[in-house]
Amino acid sequence: MVLCALPLQLGAQEIIGAAQPTKDFLLGKTHFEKDTNFVEIAPQYTVLRRPNNFIQKRTLEAFIKMREAALKDGVKLTATSASRNFWVQRYIWEQKWQKSTVAAGAARARSILQYNSMCGTSRHHWGTELDFNSPKLSYWNTPDGIKTYKWLCENAHKFGFYQPYTVKGPGLREHGYNEEKWHWSYFPLSNIYMQKYKELISDEDLKGFLGEKHIGELKVIEHYVLGVAMPPEV
Ligand SMILES: [Zn+2]
């Protein structure tokens, strides 16, 4: 029994991080350093340092291949954000909530939701998402930013990545976060988690932070978690 315990436990962790995610995993209630599917991104690829540099192994392998291909075309991809768990996201959200000048209520939540997720609803919980180079809109209008975005649009799909937060408009993505040119998702894993999220998570699972009562009114799951673009081939 004792001899069996460790491999079984490790096997279970492999599954949690991959094809059969638990509710806790989907909600970001994960300690990345203890999940064997997660590894640290090496310093040459990122500005992040422990404990902010964890990502799923498969996402990292795909990112490194994509980064090498981009370098050959004169484009440098540096990870500026990787995985954040529920508790880190709660800290970020509540800081924004407390500093906001918008009257407390749904309008305040909506204003923060332009670019920031409520805890339990961020794709960065899953180890499948990477932000590249800069989250500043101004960078993506510089020659370097324009070249980088063009390269990603033309090539990221070859490595399994796509942009979930595209431009919004009629016939396009209509709800949710504003466009994020820096945010790229490793679709082979993130699509599994999004489908499971749709199946397993409801408003009642999203608790324990300031502003939580506006979740239903703002249709956070429908508009923000599920209201993402899909890759063209899907
Ligand atoms: Zn992001």
Each residue of 8-54: pLDDT tens digit?
333 444 444 555 789 999 999 999 999 999 999 999 999 999 999 99
What spacing in Å lies between the alpha carbon of 233 and ligand 1's midpoint? 22
What spacing in Å lies between the alpha carbon of 14 and ligand 1's midpoint? 24
124 CB contacts (<8 Å, ≥6 apart)? 28, 81, 82, 83, 84, 89, 117
In a domain, 58, yes or no: yes
What spacing in Å lies between the alpha carbon of 127 and ligand 1's midpoint? 11
- Select from 46, 99, 133 the least CA-distant residue to 211: 99
Note the pLDDT of residue 18.
59
What spacing in Å lies between the alpha carbon of 4 and ligand 1's midpoint? 39
What spacing in Å lies between the alpha carbon of 172 and ligand 1's midpoint? 20
What spacing in Å lies between the alpha carbon of 214 and ligand 1's midpoint? 22
**E strand spans, the chain:** 38-40, 54-56, 79-81, 129-132, 161-162, 183-186
In a domain, 172, yes or no: yes
Note the pLDDT of residue 181.
97
Each residue of 215-225: pLDDT tens digit?
999 999 999 99
Domain that holds residue 45: 26-225
Nearest-angstrom CA–CA distance, 228 and 139? 23
Task: Indicate whether 77 pLDDT > 80.
Answer: yes
Note the pLDDT of residue 3.
31
Task: Indicate whether 6 pLDDT > 50.
Answer: no
In a domain, 17, yes or no: no
Q: Which of 86-95, 120-129, 140-149, 165-174 is least confident?
A: 165-174
Residue 78 — pLDDT band, cuts 50, 70, 90? Answer: very high
Print burial letters for 115-135: b (CB count within 10 Å at least 16), e (below 16): ebbbbbbbbbbbbbbbbbbbe
Task: Indicate whether 233 pLDDT > 70.
Answer: no
In a domain, 109, yes or no: yes
What spacing in Å lies between the alpha carbon of 12 and ligand 1's midpoint? 28
Contacts made by residues 133-142, CB under 8 angstroms, sequence distance 24+: 133/76, 133/77, 133/78, 133/80, 133/182, 134/80, 134/182, 135/80, 135/81, 135/180, 135/182, 140/181, 140/182
Nearest-angstrom CA–CA distance, 117 and 13? 26
Residue 7 — pLDDT band, cuts 50, 70, 90? Answer: very low
In a domain, 197, yes or no: yes
Q: What's the domain count of the chain?
A: 1
Note the pLDDT of residue 230.
86
What spacing in Å lies between the alpha carbon of 123 and ligand 1's midpoint? 8
What spacing in Å lies between the alpha carbon of 129 and ligand 1's midpoint? 7
Residue 104 — pLDDT band, cuts 50, 70, 90? Answer: confident
In a domain, 21, yes or no: no
- Select from 136, 130, 115, 141 the least CA-distant residue to 187: 130
Give the global pTM.
0.90
Note the pLDDT of residue 87.
96
In a domain, 7, yes or no: no
In a domain, 106, yes or no: yes
Nearest-angstrom CA–CA distance, 154 and 131? 17
Each residue of 173-189: pLDDT tens digit?
889 999 999 999 999 89
Q: Is the peptide bond preceding residue 51 cis, with omega within 30 degrees of 0?
A: yes
Nearest-angstrom CA–CA distance, 121 and 86? 9
Rounded (10°) angle between helices 57-72 and 187-200: 140
Each residue of 196-207: pLDDT tens digit?
999 999 999 999
Note the pLDDT of residue 165.
94
The domain that holds 138 is classified in CATH as 3.30.1380.10
